[in-house]
Chains A and B, each alone.
Chain A
Amino acid sequence: MANKVIVETTINGDPVELLCEPRQSLLEVLRDVLELTGSKEGCLTGDCGACTVVIDGRPVCSCLMLGVEAAGKNVSTIEGLATGAALHVLQRKFLEHASLQCGICTPGFLMSAKALLDRNPNPTEAEIRYALAGNLCRCTGYDKIVRAVTDAAATMAGRSSRTAHGGAVPAETASGMVSEMLAKGEDK
């Protein structure tokens, strides 16, 4: 085995010490070393955004970054978006607006949207579309995704004035929504 190195980083808020080869991309390290397989491999050229993670507040294609470069950084992946069993409001809105079909692009879209809303809680539609322009979806199309992000932003703004919660709903509620959606689909 080639020379492995120790990398100390923070992933989804937890300090992590991992062993990887310098040639491994962050995406490979996440998926193959840490078994965090939520980030998807699409094009490996930075065009599709399926591997998007958030590094120190900025969206990044994890396929175009070496794992060793994560040393000392704060890495957020799709696995850290929900709080325990409670989905993040973005995840809930993606379900409510049926913003996914095959779903392989979804983790990347969610992380790009998360990076946007953390920086700009009240984006215009143009700002949302610009922020998501590095994420490609080949089956759902973009309108439903944009609607979900718009709704999530509004919901988070409304909620922040009422409760201290970050806009999460229980996973059971959300999976109930999925069942409903699937049931509706069968009616056709």
Chain B
Amino acid sequence: MHAITYETPKSLDEAVKLMAAHGEKARALSGGTDLLIQLRAGTRRPEYVVNIKNIPELTRISFSLQHGLKLGAAVPCIEIHENGDMRKYYPGLTEAAHLIGSLQIQSRASVGGNLCNGSPAADATPALIALGAQARVVGPKGERMVPVESFCLAPGRTVLQPGELLVEFHIPAPERRASDAYLRFIPRNEMDIAVVGVGAALTLDMSDDRVVAARIALGAVGPTPILAAEAAKSLIGKPLDAAAIDNAARLAIAASSPIDDMRGTAEFRRHVVGVLTRRTLAKAAERARE
């Protein structure tokens, strides 16, 4: 590994100043489970590695039924899973975080790092998109909110400009009779990279059970995670019956643009998008009705 300078700011202000001062020579270090591999392989060569795990805003989960969730970008996945509010109100995002690698990985890896790494197969990203998460980005020119579906530009590339830092995710408060789910397909039980991942969030009507709001997001079936907006829109105002679910699954397949690779063919991936869309919608609905 090339020589680096290590910085470990204690405040957001200090971190933003460091990131701004070093610009594209700096890379934020969250759990490091992707970054250290990239440093070793030479695929990323930052001169400055800025540890962001000692900054309060980046390492906290703050939730209220009124204001929703602020999830620090560097919170390790295992802390998400261990948080009762996360499991109860955002089970889809929680299960996505709890699917990323082994316990060793979950003890370090974060949802923010998962997003900033820019992999189209990132498990947490479709779950964030389904929930309508906004990424709070702070940089030398001030701060901005980026919808997570707009965050990734290409494999390994995101909207973050030199000097900018992803601080936290803002996720709306859960409605009544609303929930989410995330499912992925891998060829074994655990510890693998998604061949296809699907996240869904649903709100059902209190009286007639029709779909009031829906979001569906797809992973590993395009150069970036995909918001399947048409698929979700097709459900609005309808009861979530087999016909509605099949139609949404068909539209989700249409929104995907998978490639053939060693993990699966494009044809297989399209098929799995349909299967997982049906299953995540059913699971989110079942949770919403609880």
Chain A residues in the interface with B (C-beta under 8 A): 2-3, 5, 21-23, 25, 44-47, 49, 52, 55, 58-61, 63-66, 68-69, 71, 112, 115, 130-131, 133-135
> Closest approach, in angstroms, between the C-beta of A117 and any C-beta of chain B?
13
In the bound complex, do residue B32 and residue A133 qualify as a contact, i.e. CB atoms below 8 Å apart?
no
Q: Which residue of B lies closest to A49 (CB)?
A: B104
Of B1, B29, B76, B102, which one neighbours A49 at CB under 8 angstroms? B102
State whether A61 touches B104 (Cβ < 8 A). Answer: yes
B37 part of interface (Cβ distance < 8 Å): yes
B1 close to A112 (CB less than 8 A): no
* Cβ contacts under 8 Å, A61 to chain B: 33, 104-105, 108
Are A22 and B49 closer than 8 Å at their CB atoms? Answer: yes
- CA of A55 to CA of B76, assembled, Å: 13
Asked whether B145 is an interface residue with its Cβ less than 8 Å from the other chain, the reply is no
> Do the beta carbons of B191 and A133 come within 8 Å of each other?
yes
Answer yes or no: B78 CB below 8 A from chain A CBs.
Answer: yes
- Indicate whether A66 sits within 8 Å of B104 (C-beta atoms), given known contacts A3-B5, A22-B49, A133-B191: no
Instruction: Provide the residues of chain A in CB contact with B1, threshold 8 Å.
Output: 23
Known: A64-B104, A133-B191. 15 other contacts (CB 8 A): A3-B3, A22-B3, A23-B1, A23-B3, A23-B4, A46-B37, A59-B103, A60-B104, A61-B105, A61-B108, A66-B36, A66-B49, A115-B103, A134-B105, A134-B191
Chain B residues close to A by CB (< 8 Å): 1-6, 8, 29, 31-33, 36-37, 39-40, 49, 51, 53, 76, 78, 101-105, 107-108, 190-191
Q: Are B78 and A64 in contact (CB under 8 A)?
A: no
Residue among A2, A64, A115 facing the most chain B CB atoms (10 A cut-off): A64
In whole angstroms, what is the CA distance A131 to B191 when docked?
Answer: 12
Q: Which residue of B lies closest to A5 (CB)?
A: B6
When distances are taken between beta carbons in the complex, the residues of chain A under 8 Å from B76 are 58
**CB-nearest residue of chain B relative to A59?**
B104
- Between A and B, how many residue pairs show CB distances below 8 Å? 87
Cβ contact within 8 Å between B32 and A22: no
Q: How far is the CA of A68 from the CA of B49 in the complex (A)?
A: 11
| Contact, CB under 8 Å: B32 / A58 | no
Closest beta carbon of chain B to A124's beta carbon, Å: 15
Q: 12 A-B contacts, Cβ less than 8 Å apart? A: A23-B4, A46-B33, A58-B76, A58-B78, A60-B104, A60-B107, A64-B105, A69-B32, A69-B51, A115-B103, A131-B103, A134-B104
A2: chain B residues within 8 A (beta carbon): 3
Question: Which one of A44, A71, A134 contacts B102 once the chains associate, using CB atoms below 8 Å?
Answer: A134
Shortest Cβ distance from residue A90 to the other chain B in the assembled complex, whole angstroms:
16
With known contacts A44-B40, A58-B78, A133-B190, A65–B101 Cβ distance under 8 A? no
State the CA gap A44–B38 with chains docked (Å). 11
Take A64-B36, A66-B36 as given contacts and tell me if A23 and B2 are in contact as well, using a CB distance cutoff of 8 Å.
yes
In the complex, what residues of B have CB within 8 A of residue A3's CB?
Answer: 3, 5
- In angstroms, Cα B51 to Cα A5, docked, is 15
User: Residue among A21, A45, A60, A130 with the most chain B CB within 10 A?
Assistant: A60
On whether the beta carbons of A22 and B107 are closer than 8 Å, the reply is: no
Assembly CA distance A131 to B104 (angstroms): 9
A21–B2 alpha-carbon span in the complex (Å): 11
Return chain B residues, CB-CB under 8 Å to A66.
6, 29, 32, 36, 49, 51
Cβ contact of A58, chosen from B6, B29, B36, B107, cutoff 8 A: B107
- Interchain CA distance A130-B81 in the complex, whole Å: 14
- A108: shortest Cβ distance to chain B, in Å? 9
- Tell me the bound Cα distance from A52 to B103 in angstroms: 10
Q: How far is the CA of A183 from the CA of B274 in the complex (A)?
A: 58
Determine whether the beta carbon of A46 is less than 8 Å from that of B105: yes
User: Hey, which chain A residues are within 8 Å of B29, CB to CB?
Assistant: 66, 69
Which chain B residue shows the least CB distance to A44? Answer: B40
Interface pairs A-B: 4 shortest CB-CB:
A134-B102, A22-B6, A58-B107, A2-B3
